[in-house]
Amino acid sequence: MKFAIATALLAACASAVEMKACSGTDMSGSCTAKTSLGSKSGTWKSYNFRASTNRCVRVCNGCTSLGWRCQSYSNNNISFNKFIIFDWAGGSGPDATTCC
């Protein structure tokens, strides 16, 4: 029983992800967070991305990709209006995501 609980906890942690984006620089202003795969649109100037294995984020401004990260990362002065959280595993790498 303890082994099953520990295994379930490890599996949940292995896919953990959070993208927090804020309207002001240095993580100030109004902030929003997403903890699942998919995209979110808004108007932001900073972000903090935390991820575990195989979770990545692409950051966009309009149809222009500003890049992608698969490790935890913060940027305190960047203008963007969309982010896409995707799963690297199973062939769904960055080429499977586009800004438009």
Return the amino acid letter for 66: L
Residue 51 burial (CB count, 10 A): 20
Cα(74)–Cα(53) distance, integer angstroms: 17
pTM: predicted TM-score of the whole model, two decimal places? 0.81
- Provide Rg for the chain, Cα atoms: 15
Each residue's pLDDT tens digit in the chain (100 positions)? 444 443 333 344 456 999 999 999 999 999 999 999 999 999 999 999 999 878 999 999 999 999 999 999 999 999 999 999 998 876 667 777 899 9
